[in-house]
Structure 1
Amino acid sequence: MSTSVASIDPDKTGNELKAQRFQMLEDIAREFSGEVVFPTYFDAVLRLRKVLNDPNQSIANIAHAVSAEPLISAKLLHLANSVAYNPEGKDIVDLKSAIVRLGLSVVHTAALAIVMTQLMRAKGMAEFADTTHALWEHSIQTSAAAHVLAGESSRINKDEAMLAGLIHDLGAFYMLYRASQYEELRHRPDTIRYLIVQWHESIGVSLLNALGLPEEIVEATIDHDHLRGQPSTIRSLSDIIYVANMLSGGHIEWVMQDQPGMTDAIAQLEQQYGHLRPAIDALTAELRGNLK
């Protein structure tokens, strides 16, 4: 039986480990100045490629499939708001409107190009397969919860809320990909988990800005994993992403349960919004099925 790398080469400690972590963060900062494409959930990307390669798919079917892929959704929104497709400067904030503005040909070509780049960069991600799957499932459920919660408020766009929920943890996907580029980090899940807990929110904000997402969507993702005062009424997109994330397991995913008051906060949210659970579960299943 072979011996794992982790068993013969223990985690670095002290200044040596800190230097390795900062090297990764410095590399991330440099990459944001160029084109950013990275793999998210490998199986979902494979299924999306199958949809995109089918010439009989309608724009509605492609839109449904893309709505379950965080990075491609973000990039299509940015493209739709670019000068080439938005000469009048009227920004849109939801995926459906972006796809309508771009048209089938552009959506198909752009999405397929991103898919192929994701697949080429997916090497080395095998160690994180379970984590990326769990993160994708969480993103899908948060997206569904955000849509349903927005439906309870007349002031929030449901489709915008759905997109914000889908991409709220894009920084964590990106950090997993960046970690896969470091031989030592790939075999140290505890080190990666620590880095993601500490940095995925701030890196996520920088990433969404680098991807050119509308400011209101970026701002809605800030501090979504940090315990805040209980919102008696949902008043903003930020409130929706916070509640949707918590209802979808975000407090557990990155070991947030150690925060004082977390258990009580979750219980209060479940009591206040638990009646929406059947609708959230149904929409989650629909989004998950969009790639089948």
Structure 2
Amino acid sequence: MNRLEAFGYIAAQAARGDMTFPTSVNAALRLQLALDDPNCHIEDAIKLVLAEPQLAARTVALANSAAFNRNGDAPITNARAAVMRVGYRSLQTLVASLVVRQFGTRIVDPAIRAKAERLWEHTAHVAALSQVIAKRVTFVNPDTAVFAAIMHEVGGFYLLSRADEFPGLLDEDPEKWSELCEDVVSREVLAKLSVPEPVRGAIEALRDAWLSMPPCTLLDTLILANQFSPVPSPLAAPVLDMPAHEDSVLDFVLDGDTLESILKESADEVKSMSTALLV
């Protein structure tokens, strides 16, 4: 099977909803679906966290990170207290990060694994930038912005998880890769993971999007976060570069001092959450 046939095969599977996820992803998805239910009781969430040891450990680590323990309180040592401290929205983001990361667990080829690690590094920076940009520029919900950022490359992670099956799949062709990832695989993976429609819409529109002026939407948040991420995606074609006239208009929204401050704050945010969410 040549590379184009492999692309077609994977895309056809995705279009049918026939996708293979690691077992650990299915466990995390059960919690994700429960958290999406407005009637989900805190005790039910705690039980589901405890049923997945890695998730329980990460939740405790997140609760003790600087992002949630800025006052230096005594460390939390159990999942129940951790869930209470971080809250549902942050728990959803943690679950999303675990889902995305689990796609890389079955990669055998060292080069593909390295590409997945680079993609995660990109995702981590986009997530931190999205949170800061949401708070200071676009004024969308910061939790939603982080969740969308964590999920925005999930199609690429899924394709990387299948690359061992199809030698040559990752030969350099960023335009074809981006088109397949964004138009077919990403859409179906997002649907399979029950990502809410507003978040799916922003992610699906990202590849060919134009920045609004002034930036005020979730999509604008993702565009800016990708634009200023110090680590570019190793998979996507450079389609998020803004034209020169947009760049000059953006100067009225983000002056040099503001941009420098945002980049510094996002770098600090990556470090503060690195022990739990972004590693």
State the TM-score bracket (shorter-chain normalisation). Answer: 0.5 to 0.7
Q: Do the aligned partners of residues 118 and 280 (structure 1) sit closer, same or farther apart at CA in structure 2, a change above 3 Å counting?
A: closer
Question: Partners in 2 of 1:258 and 1:166 — Cα distance?
Answer: 19
Q: Does 2:135 match 1:135? A: no
Map of 1:23 onto structure 2: 9
Residues 55-70 of structure 1 aligned to structure 2 (within 5 Å): none
- Tell me what 1:218 maps to: 200
Equivalent pairs: percent with the same residue?
A: 16
Q: Assess, with a 3 A threshold, how the Cα gap between structure 1 residues 26 and 231 changes in structure 2: closer, same or farther.
A: same
Specify the alignment match of 1:165 in structure 2. 149
Q: 1:277 to 1:185 in 2, by over 3 A?
A: same
**Is 1:124 the counterpart of 2:79 in the alignment?**
no
- Distance apart, 1:128 and its partner CA: 0.9
Determine the C-alpha separation between the residues in 2 that align with 1:37 and 1:259.
29
Alignment partners' CA distance in 2, 1:74 and 1:17: 31
Q: What do the CA deviations read for 1:180-231 (whole angstroms, capped 9, x no partner)?
A: 222x236x5325x554322222221221111111111111212323352x43
Q: 1:123 to 1:178 in 2, by over 3 A?
A: closer
| Structure 1 residue aligned with 2:46 | 104
**1:233 corresponds to which of 187, 206, 214:** 214
1:289 to 269, 275, 278: 275
Return the letter of the residue paired with 2:186. G
Match of 1:277 in 2: 263
1: CA distance, partners of 2:271 / 2:204 = 27
Specify the code of the residue in structure 2 equivalent to 1:283.
E
The residue number in structure 1 matching 2:32 is 77
2:223 to 236, 239, 242: 242
RMSD: 4.0
Letter matched to residue 160 of structure 1: T
CA shift at 1:162, angstroms?
0.9
Q: What amino acid sits opposite 2:274 in the alignment?
A: R
Q: Higher mean Cα deviation, 135-144 or 106-115?
A: 106-115
CA distance in 1, matches of 2:232, 2:9: 28
Q: Conserved in 2, the CA contact under 8 Å of 1:142 and 1:245?
A: yes
Partner amino acid, structure 1, of 2:32: L
TM-score normalised by length of structure 1: 0.63
In structure 1, what residue type is equivalent to 2:168?
Answer: L
Q: CA–CA distance in 1 between the matches of 2:148 and 2:50?
A: 22
Give TM-score scaled by structure 2 length: 0.65
- Label 1:101 to 1:200 Cα distance change in 2 as closer, same or farther (>3 A): farther
**Residue identity matched to 1:210:** K
Where does the alignment leave 5 or more consecutive residues of structure 2 unmatched?
Answer: 56-94
Question: Counterparts of 1:99 and 1:139 in 2: how far apart (Å)?
Answer: 30
- Whether the 8 Å contact between 1:80 and 1:102 is mirrored in structure 2 is no
- The question of 1:185 aligning with 2:168 is answered yes
Separation of aligned partners in 2, 1:145 and 1:250? 12
1:209 and 2:175 aligned: no
Is the CA contact (8 Å cut-off) linking 1:196 and 1:254 kept in structure 2?
yes
Which sections of structure 1, spanning at least 5 residues, go unmatched?
A: 1-11, 40-44, 46-69, 92-97
Q: Which amino acid aligns with 1:206?
A: E
Change (3 A) 1:259 1:33: closer
Q: CA separation of 1:80/1:137 partners in 2, compared to 1, >3 Å: closer, same or farther?
A: same
